[in-house]
Chain A
Amino acid sequence: MTSIGLGHYLVVSAALFCIGLFGVVTRRSLLVIYMSLELMLNAANLALVAMSRFNGNLDGQIMVFFTITVAAAEVSVGLAMIVALCRKRRSAHVEDLTTLKL
């Protein structure tokens, strides 16, 4: 049998989440920030599937199914907002979006 356990998958998931977080914090283009958000969601999905597999419970996979659907809806709405923003401001750069700044 294989020696890969739950911990291996969780380490990969944590590393992926941290990579996504780093992208969200450092990158300045709205689209790349969105892609990093997708990475973080994927990391959570991986952790859920691994938990589901190693605990013998199917609920985690159902949860991932729902997460993927919600993520697809979220991406479509978010990208529509970015397009609307770009039409108004001519920029998809977070440093140019300072309307809420005092």
Chain B
Amino acid sequence: MIQDVLFYLFAFMTLLSAVLVVANPVSRNPVTSAMFLVLTILFMAGLFVQLHAFFLAAVQILVYAGAVIVLFLFVIMLLDLKEEQSRRIGKLGSVLGLVSVGVVFVLFNRALSGLPAKVPGATGQPSLEGLTAPLGHALFKQYLLPFEILSVLLLVAMVGVILLSKKDLR
């Protein structure tokens, strides 16, 4: 079916570009990592569309692929980072990293293997349509207070960033 094919395509491409963000065999340039992060986010928005979360897919592309990546690229070009290309990753570090990641993955695996019996609706057909209107209703009625607190948080972040990037930081 077309939906299955689309799911596997998007999932595979998401994971592939995520691997290329983290461990690119060709280039260790941060700009390459940022570009593959854009790809990861776009394919993940595709997965969101598969899950019928259309609004979140749009927000994902707008906020991540738009704002966050532009910020990353600005900082990369501001700082002119080239050093990591010359330094190599230690063997001990990557082995330890692989071990810790393996442990976490085993934990996830054990959690997932017990899944279908426990979670309601895990085997049944999906029932929810994440359209924009019910999301907006929930956001502005049930979750109005967190929403407003979030706006205060954004203000705090803005003030903090301006303060942090002053020239004479004390």
Contact = CB atoms under 8 A, between A and B. Distances in A.
Contacts, number: 243
21 contacts: A3-B1, A7-B116, A10-B112, A20-B18, A25-B96, A26-B97, A31-B72, A35-B21, A35-B34, A53-B51, A53-B126, A54-B122, A62-B138, A69-B150, A69-B154, A73-B157, A75-B68, A76-B161, A80-B164, A83-B78, A84-B169
Interface residues of A, number: 76
Interface in B42-101: 44, 47-48, 50-53, 55-56, 59-60, 63-64, 67-68, 71-72, 75-76, 78-79, 81, 83-84, 87, 89, 93-94, 96-98, 100-101
Contacts of B128: 52-58
B161 A80 contact: yes
B33 A35 contact: yes
Contact of A61 (B18, B44, B53, B119): B53
Given A14-B105, A38-B37, A83 B165 contact: yes
Q: Is the interface of A mostly helix, strand, loop or mixed?
A: helix
B89 A27 contact: yes
Interface in A63-102: 64-66, 68-77, 79-84, 86-88, 91-93, 95
Interface of A: 1-12, 14-23, 25-29, 31-32, 34-36, 38-39, 42, 45-46, 49-59, 61-62, 64-66, 68-77, 79-84, 86-88, 91-93, 95
